[in-house]
């Protein structure tokens, strides 16, 4: 094996051919970004757009609501269309309309020309979205629909100035709504952000006002949202009761002693953490909790022979049988109630809601 001699190597040798190692180029210095300042600029731009949109509302908004109300009242469907970001916003508006009792779904403007025009009926309405108002696919769809006598509501930026006439989509619309030439915060990002926020807000306003005109109630909304946390909050409180009078729970006469009340409660296999006390007419007069029992025993066990009315909490907070689960959640959070009586129109208890039931529904945290 040859040994290193430290002498220069002959030309053409491997050592001579190996390039000398070079230091890696220095990375450019990191640019500091003020995240909060950037976020506030973006939110402020959207806030200004919404304020301008609110001030811009006029009789055309009511005219658009007239069309939506007529469509829903005659069994029609609000078909929403748009391309790109406007299409994504349109899909959300369609979902909101449907949630609020107005049949609606999204139609892609390009697919409409390949068969989806069959989705439109004479009783339907088209809500067409395009910030520029010049999107070819959306204009083509609107032109076809107007030829068939189907009304079109457009949502666009509107004319650039007072001298501009209506754009292509607005020209075809039965009612043209404008969000205005909003400041798109282009210095922050080229992606549409402010205009899409304004377009979504205007669509939501249409949906909310139309549902109000159609007398869409919270009960109607609850029937359409049976699942998830929202569905749980909107359920009638009676559906959340595990302990109901006449099935697995019995109120205690307020004339009973503490010991008698406890004995009566033990006759039930499972019980909530409180006893409901009633008068001779069966009207709720008080509640006696496990915490009340602990305090009583620690004070003097002999007090168990006393009337429970002396130690119950009188006129406890209760919920009517017409309340919803969200009302119970509010009582738990605001007043720290662990057990909530539910009463009928005459004040007679029909059951008791335990906080553990709300925890099991994942509506309240332990």
* Higher pLDDT among residues 159 and 151, named by residue: 151
Tokens 């909304």, located at residue: 221
Cβ-Cβ contacts under 8 Å for 70 (sequence gap 6 or more): 76
Instruction: Judge if 132 and 188 occupy the same domain.
Output: yes
Tell me the pLDDT band of 41, cut-offs 50, 70 and 90: confident
Is 208 within a domain? yes
Is 11 within a domain? no
Is 221 within a domain? no
Say whether pLDDT at 294 is over 80.
yes
Q: Across all residues in the chain, what is the average pLDDT? A: 83
Instruction: Judge if 196 and 247 occupy the same domain.
Output: no
pLDDT of 81 reads: 95
pLDDT of 32 reads: 66
Instruction: Judge if 211 and 243 occupy the same domain.
Output: no
Say whether pLDDT at 53 is over 90.
yes
**Residue that is last in its domain, among 216, 246, 268:** 216
Instruction: Judge if 71 and 113 occupy the same domain.
Output: yes
Say whether pLDDT at 77 is over 60.
yes
Distance separating the N- and C-terminal Cα atoms of the chain: 77
Instruction: Judge if 56 and 157 occupy the same domain.
Output: yes
Is 224 within a domain? no
Is 28 within a domain? no
* Higher pLDDT among residues 32 and 179, named by residue: 179
**Residue that is last in its domain, among 185, 216, 247:** 216
Instruction: Judge if 257 and 170 occupy the same domain.
Output: no
Is 8 within a domain? no
Q: Is 257 exposed, middle or buried (0-12, 13-18, 19+ CB in 10 A)?
A: middle
CB 78 within 8 A of CB 93: no
Is 366 within a domain? no
Which pairing describes strands 125-129 and 78-82: parallel, antiparallel, or unpaired?
parallel
Residue 251 is part of which domain span? 237-360
Instruction: Judge if 184 and 52 occupy the same domain.
Output: yes
Instruction: Judge if 321 and 354 occupy the same domain.
Output: yes
What's the predicted TM-score (pTM) here?
Answer: 0.62
What is the domain count for the chain?
2
Torsion of CA 90, 96, 99, 104, to 10 degrees: -30
pLDDT of 163 reads: 64
Q: What strands, in cross-sheet order, belong to the sheet with 125-129? A: 104-106, 78-82, 125-129, 152-156, 175-178
Query: What CATH number has the domain bearing residue 148?
Result: 3.40.50.10490
Instruction: Judge if 163 and 205 occupy the same domain.
Output: yes
Instruction: Judge if 169 and 252 occupy the same domain.
Output: no
How far does Cα 42 stand from its chain's mean position? 23
**Residue that is last in its domain, among 184, 216, 248:** 216
Is 4 within a domain? no
Instruction: Judge if 55 and 90 occupy the same domain.
Output: yes
C-alpha–C-alpha distance, residues 256 and 228, integer Å? 43
Say whether pLDDT at 280 is over 50.
yes
How far does Cα 80 stand from its chain's mean position? 20
Say whether pLDDT at 271 is over 70.
yes
Residue (of 71, 37, 354, 23) closest to 80 by Cα position: 71
% of residues, the chain, pLDDT over 90: 44
Query: What CATH number has the domain bearing residue 304?
Result: 3.10.580.10
What tens digit of pLDDT does each residue of 230-260 get? 555 667 888 888 888 988 888 999 999 999 9
Instruction: Judge if 154 and 257 occupy the same domain.
Output: no
């Amino acid at each position: 094996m040859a040994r290193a001699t430290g002498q220069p190597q002959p030309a053409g040798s491997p050592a001579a051919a190996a390039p000398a190692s070079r230091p890696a180029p220095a990375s450019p210095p990191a640019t500091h970004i003020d995240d909060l300042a950037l976020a506030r600029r973006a939110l402020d731009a959207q806030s200004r757009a919404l304020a301008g949109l609110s001030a811009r509302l006029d009789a055309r908004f009511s005219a658009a609501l007239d069309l939506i109300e007529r469509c829903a009242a005659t069994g029609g469907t609000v078909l929403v269309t748009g391309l790109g970001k406007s299409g994504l916003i349109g899909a959300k508006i369609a979902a909101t309309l449907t949630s609020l009792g107005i049949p609606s779904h999204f139609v892609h403007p390009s697919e409409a020309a390949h068969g989806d025009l069959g989705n439109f009926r004479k009783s339907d309405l088209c809500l067409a979205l395009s910030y520029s108002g010049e999107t070819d696919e959306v204009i083509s769809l609107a032109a076809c629909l107007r030829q068939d006598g189907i009304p079109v509501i457009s949502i666009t930026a509107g004319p650039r100035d007072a001298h501009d006439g209506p754009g292509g989509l607005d020209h075809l619309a039965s009612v043209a709504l404008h969000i205005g030439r909003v400041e798109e915060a282009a210095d922050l990002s080229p992606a549409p952000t402010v205009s899409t926020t304004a377009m979504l807000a205007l669509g939501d306003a249409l949906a909310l006002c139309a549902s109000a005109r159609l007398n869409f109630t919270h009960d109607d909304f609850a029937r359409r949202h049976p699942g998830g946390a929202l569905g749980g909050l909107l359920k009638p409180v009676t559906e959340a009761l595990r302990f109901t009078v006449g099935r697995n729970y019995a109120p205690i006469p307020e004339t009973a002693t503490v010991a008698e009340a406890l004995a009566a409660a033990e006759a039930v296999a499972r019980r909530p953490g409180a006893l409901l006390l009633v008068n001779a007419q069966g009207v709720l007069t008080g509640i006696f909790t496990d915490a009340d029992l602990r305090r009583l025993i620690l004070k003097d066990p002999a007090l168990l022979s006393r009337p429970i009315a002396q130690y119950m909490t009188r006129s406890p907070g209760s919920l009517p049988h017409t309340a919803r689960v969200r009302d119970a959640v509010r009582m738990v959070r605001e007043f720290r109630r662990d057990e909530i009586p539910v009463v009928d129109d005459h004040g007679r208890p029909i059951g008791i809601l335990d906080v553990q039931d709300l925890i099991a529904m994942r509506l309240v945290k332990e």
